[in-house]
Amino acid sequence: MRNYDAAVIGGGISGLLAAIEVAKAGKKVILLEKSSNVGGRGISVRKNGALLNLGGHAIYRGGAAYAALQRFGVELEGGIPSTSGSIIWKNELIPLPSDPLKLLTSKLFSFSGKMELGRLLMRLGKINAAELADVSLREWAEQEIVDPMVRHLFYTLCRTSTYSRDLDYQTAATVLHQVHLSIKSGVLYLDGGWQSIVDQLQKIATNCGVTIQMGASVSAIKHSGGAVQGVHLGSGELLEVERVISTLSPSDNFRLVPGAEQTILRHWKEDSRPITAACLDLALKRLPVVGRDFVMGIDQPIFFSNHSRAAKLSDNGTIIVHMIKYNAVGEHDPKADEQLLTDMMNLLHPGWQQEVTAKQFLPSITVVHDYPHKSRRDHKPGPAVPEIRGLYVAGDWASHGEMLLDAVAASAGRAASMLIQEAEETRDVINV
């Protein structure tokens, strides 16, 4: 194999972003992806003329991912979905108070609850996150929100923005920031699904000179004397390289690095709290109840959104809707979850079964491998693995306060910058 300055493991959005950044700094980069396509959890599946993301995906317009993708020239076309919709409370659909006027007439809240909700929404962007330190979301909400119904709605907004219902572990600062991002700048549903991001990143990577090797499953990261020596591939081949960015999960990194129990990789694995979800994704000839596009469960952890109201996702006019059941950490009951999502669809759109042209059920997909949470340690994983020179990590779990794709983009940027800087410093030392 030709000599490379760096290898990036994993061809998801983390790996693509990291590889582009390193290649743009003039380094020779190889991207190793075990499957036959890049994109990882960011792909969209084409079925019967419809494009289905792996569960509902939205990009936060005020976040790090949006900024990084724009900086690389990725065109993000699509629409900002309206948040006018309903909630489900005690199995009944109730209009969602999406603006102050509707809030005043809503039957959901008492008069004092309405006042409290209004004040809460106004305050969100002004809270000083630094002062919240390690306060959990529940601790913050129980201290700050008096009205139980307002607290229910607040937790629902938090869940929708973060995919997590880990109230006792989520750090209030990061969740409040994410909710504020979604309210302030909104999210974007992308034309062509998230596949449009993946396709453009793949093209940019190739144009920057990144070698993309598919079907290359990394079986171990070789290191000796405290420094990376290369990566072993499943084929038995050894790729000699001094710098590696791994975008795999904390448990995969632990498995791939010999002696990982003596490194910080062990803590990253043991501390991680993966968020999973059950997703029901449908393409429909028409939506039985026109205008019923956005629904959040309040007393059940479920969510429905018609993505076609904001983005072009099919060639033939079919409507793409995504439903999610948010799992608690470790929760896994695919049969019950599919039933719950089917029941939601029956409540929202009676007769929907006759309209289905494509369907995808993902029983328990990992949304993120970890997220900022209360922990025994300072929980800011990466970018470097301090015990092994030349090894860096990125991915949705390697967050320094960001969430979801914003953590992906921010961590890929951190890993790439540190790798570039250390490569330059080594070169300077050799030149001296």
Ligand X SMILES: Cc1cc2nc3c(=O)[nH]c(=O)nc-3n(C[C@H](O)[C@H](O)[C@H](O)COP(=O)(O)OP(=O)(O)OC[C@H]3O[C@@H](n4cnc5c(N)ncnc54)[C@H](O)[C@@H]3O)c2cc1C
If one asks whether residue 327 binds ligand X (CB under 6 A), the answer comes out as: no
Sign of CA dihedral 49, 54, 56, 59: negative
Of 140, 156, 225, 174, residue with least CA distance to 404: 174
Minimum distance of ligand X from residue 122's CB (angstroms): 25
H or E segment and range at residue 352: none
Q: Could you count the other beta carbons within 10 Å of the beta carbon of residue 131?
A: 8
The residue from 32, 103, 137, 391 that contacts ligand X (CB under 6 A) is 32
Report the residue number, 106 or 411, with the smaller CB distance to ligand X.
411
Binding segment for ligand X (CB under 6 A), chosen from 75-83, 101-109, 207-215, 365-373, is 365-373
Q: Is 298 left (phi over 0), alpha (psi -120 to 50) or beta?
A: alpha
The residue from 4, 25, 30, 42 that contacts ligand X (CB under 6 A) is 42
If one asks whether residue 51 binds ligand X (CB under 6 A), the answer comes out as: no
Binding segment for ligand X (CB under 6 A), chosen from 49-57, 222-230, 326-334, 420-428, is 49-57
If one asks whether residue 54 binds ligand X (CB under 6 A), the answer comes out as: yes
Site for ligand X in 374-403 (CB under 6 A): 395-396
The residue from 19, 20, 30, 40 that contacts ligand X (CB under 6 A) is 40
Distance between CA atoms of residues 321 and 299, nearest Å: 21
Angle made by CA atoms 188, 44, 407, in degrees to the nearest 5: 55
If one asks whether residue 35 binds ligand X (CB under 6 A), the answer comes out as: yes
Binding segment for ligand X (CB under 6 A), chosen from 84-92, 103-111, 198-206, 363-371, is 363-371
The residue from 6, 8, 15, 280 that contacts ligand X (CB under 6 A) is 15
Minimum distance of ligand X from residue 266's CB (angstroms): 19
Site for ligand X in 196-225 (CB under 6 A): 217-218
Minimum distance of ligand X from residue 315's CB (angstroms): 23
Minimum distance of ligand X from residue 232's CB (angstroms): 10
Of 182, 116, 183, residue with least CA distance to 149: 116
Site for ligand X in 232-261 (CB under 6 A): 247-248, 252
If one asks whether residue 368 binds ligand X (CB under 6 A), the answer comes out as: yes
The residue from 57, 269, 312, 349 that contacts ligand X (CB under 6 A) is 57
Report the residue number, 120 or 279, with the smaller CB distance to ligand X.
279
Binding segment for ligand X (CB under 6 A), chosen from 54-62, 173-181, 312-320, 351-359, is 54-62
If one asks whether residue 365 binds ligand X (CB under 6 A), the answer comes out as: yes
Report the residue number, 35 or 316, with the smaller CB distance to ligand X.
35
If one asks whether residue 34 binds ligand X (CB under 6 A), the answer comes out as: yes
Q: What is the residue-wise DSSP string for 229-265? A: EEEEETTS-EEE-S-EEE-S-HHHHHHHSTTGGGSHH
Strand ranges, E, within 247-341: 275-284, 294-297, 302-306, 319-326
Binding segment for ligand X (CB under 6 A), chosen from 38-46, 66-74, 235-243, 340-348, is 38-46
Let me know how many helices (H) and strands (E) the chain has, helices first: 12, 20
Residue pointed to by tokens 């959104």: 305
Minimum distance of ligand X from residue 15's CB (angstroms): 6
Whether 55 contacts 362, CB under 8 Å? yes
Site for ligand X in 59-88 (CB under 6 A): 59
Whether 209 contacts 177, CB under 8 Å? no
Binding segment for ligand X (CB under 6 A), chosen from 124-132, 133-141, 340-348, 362-370, is 362-370
Minimum distance of ligand X from residue 176's CB (angstroms): 17
Chain centre to alpha carbon of residue 302: 17
Distance between CA atoms of residues 239 and 91, nearest Å: 57
Distance between CA atoms of residues 319 and 346, nearest Å: 17
Binding segment for ligand X (CB under 6 A), chosen from 55-63, 129-137, 220-228, 333-341, is 55-63
- Is residue 215 helix, strand or coil? coil
Which strands sit side by side in the sheet containing 6-9, from one edge to the other?
A: 211-213, 29-32, 6-9, 244-246, 391-393
If one asks whether residue 10 binds ligand X (CB under 6 A), the answer comes out as: yes
Q: Is 227 left (phi over 0), alpha (psi -120 to 50) or beta?
A: beta
Which residues are near ligand X by CB under 6 A?
9-15, 32-35, 40-42, 54-55, 57-59, 217-218, 247-248, 252, 277, 279, 365, 367-368, 395-396, 404-405, 408
